[in-house]
Amino acid sequence: MQRIMQITLPLDGDLVETIRAYNQAVQVCINYGWEQHTCNKNKIHAATYYPLREQFPALQSSLVQCARDQASDILKRENFKHSKPAKKPLSAIRCNLRTFTPFLESREISISTLAGRKRYALKIPSYFEQYLAGQVTALFLGVSRQGRLIACLSVELPIVPVKEVETFVGVDRGIARVAVLSNNLFVASKHINAVKWQYQQLRRSLQAKGTRRAKRKLKELSGRERRFMACENRRIAKVIAGQADCIVIENLKGIKTNSKKERKISKKIRRRFGNWAYFQLEQFLIQSAEQSGQTILYVSPKWTSQRCSRCGSIAKGNRKSQSEFSCKACGFQLNADLNAARNLSELGSAGHGRVLVNHPNVAVVPRGVTVKDLSKLVASPLL
């Protein structure tokens, strides 16, 4: 179980110059890999290691190797599909255990710079005190937009044993309602949607003005909505994690692919859809589950909104609107999101026995199990 400790370091000139030299070395490796159309570390190392050692003699050899590895990862991520990646001069760099030594007990860290090894004081926030017992495995350094030197320490924590699953709760994530649980819990979303609307209108007004003052204001607002949504998602994840032993969610991977190319969808809907932070909520939910030994179970989202959670009938016309569900077969009526959450809970309990759950506490129901397999199950009404 890994966690990240984000700490602000003193703005030291030698460390900033080290970041600049490192990023230049990364760009040299990227240029070679792009020209040769390769992301193989051995090939990049053979062609760039000694030239980089001559170009940056003060840059430690381990940092040169870290730069090579980071360049290889960037090339793999881009997969040579778009334009050549460009590494910013002060963007984050990666350090391994040969280039830094943490002293968490004395709140210090030793880092290799162009001027040799230097020690820096660590001001660890109180929230990260819980991670001090873990083992530091990596360090990421970078300069923020505000000109602060940020250090991110990756900490490996002991694995929490997985609890025996006895209870299930389905979580239906959406745009109008952030989350609806199968145990009739509706996460309050009115305040979240109102704040997001206010930021949208404020950005629109400032962009329309286009003055220097408006641009400065837009820069000040940068990141505020993102931080607000991250705080809300963290809070919601903690609430959901305490509801059951196994949390069943939809596998929404790829749901946003090419959403802007859909001509039939209005610009307003595309904007709301693109501003949907469902994946961040999913990651926070996994973190909360890992800390308490709970299980996260992914299931297919197919037909979960069209199936009746009482009789199992599946029909496209069952869902009349965003929030209204009415079964044509048995006449059962319920909130559409709550009905979908109950279907997820049933699908998770039906497929849990067919998956093996280990570390991390995340599993996926096999493809053979879909909501259609539950069509013969008759769920007792929970209302």
Angle, CA 279 vertex, CA 366 and CA 146 arms, to 5°:
150
- Asked if residue 193 has pLDDT above 90, the reply is no
Average pLDDT over residues 151-158: 89
Candidate ranges 71-75, 308-312, 363-367; pick with highest mean pLDDT? 71-75
Residue 117, classed as helix, strand or coil, is: strand
Tell me the pLDDT band of 255, cut-offs 50, 70 and 90.
confident
* The predicted structure's pLDDT at residue 367: 47
Tell me the pLDDT band of 363, cut-offs 50, 70 and 90.
low
- Asked if residue 83 has pLDDT above 60, the reply is yes
Q: What is the largest CA-CA distance in the chain?
A: 78
Structural contact between residues 7 and 122, judged by C-beta atoms closer than 8 angstroms: yes
* The predicted structure's pLDDT at residue 309: 85
Q: What is the pLDDT of residues 302-349, one digit of tens each?
A: 888 888 888 888 888 888 888 888 888 888 888 888 999 999 888 888
- 3-state DSSP: the chain helix, strand, coil percent, rounded to 5? 45, 20, 35
Q: What is the pLDDT of residues 12-70, one digit of tens each?
A: 889 999 999 999 999 999 999 999 999 999 999 999 999 999 999 999 999 999 999 99
pTM above 0.85, yes or no: no
* The predicted structure's pLDDT at residue 3: 87
Q: What is the pLDDT of residues 134-154, one digit of tens each?
A: 888 889 998 887 888 889 999
Tell me the pLDDT band of 382, cut-offs 50, 70 and 90.
very low
Tell me the pLDDT band of 353, cut-offs 50, 70 and 90.
low
Tokens of 377: 């199950």
* The predicted structure's pLDDT at residue 358: 46
Q: Which residue has the tokens 């990596």?
A: 138
* The predicted structure's pLDDT at residue 21: 94
Tokens of 88: 């910013």
Residues 119 and 117: their CA atoms lie apart, in Å, by 7
> Which of 294, 298, 376, 305 minimizes the C-alpha distance to 342?
305
Residues 237 and 58: their CA atoms lie apart, in Å, by 46
Averaged confidence pLDDT in the chain? 83
How far lies 170's CA from each of 125, 250, 300, 341, in Å? 35, 9, 12, 5
Structural contact between residues 174 and 186, judged by C-beta atoms closer than 8 angstroms: no
Structural contact between residues 252 and 173, judged by C-beta atoms closer than 8 angstroms: yes
* The predicted structure's pLDDT at residue 360: 46
* The predicted structure's pLDDT at residue 47: 93
- Asked if residue 365 has pLDDT above 60, the reply is no
Q: What is the pLDDT of residues 101-132, one digit of tens each?
A: 998 888 889 999 998 899 998 888 888 888 88
Pairing between β-strand 246-250 and β-strand 179-181 as defined by DSSP bridges: unpaired
Tell me the pLDDT band of 378, cut-offs 50, 70 and 90.
very low
Structural contact between residues 281 and 178, judged by C-beta atoms closer than 8 angstroms: yes
* In the chain, domain spans: 1-158, 168-187+224-374
* The predicted structure's pLDDT at residue 219: 82
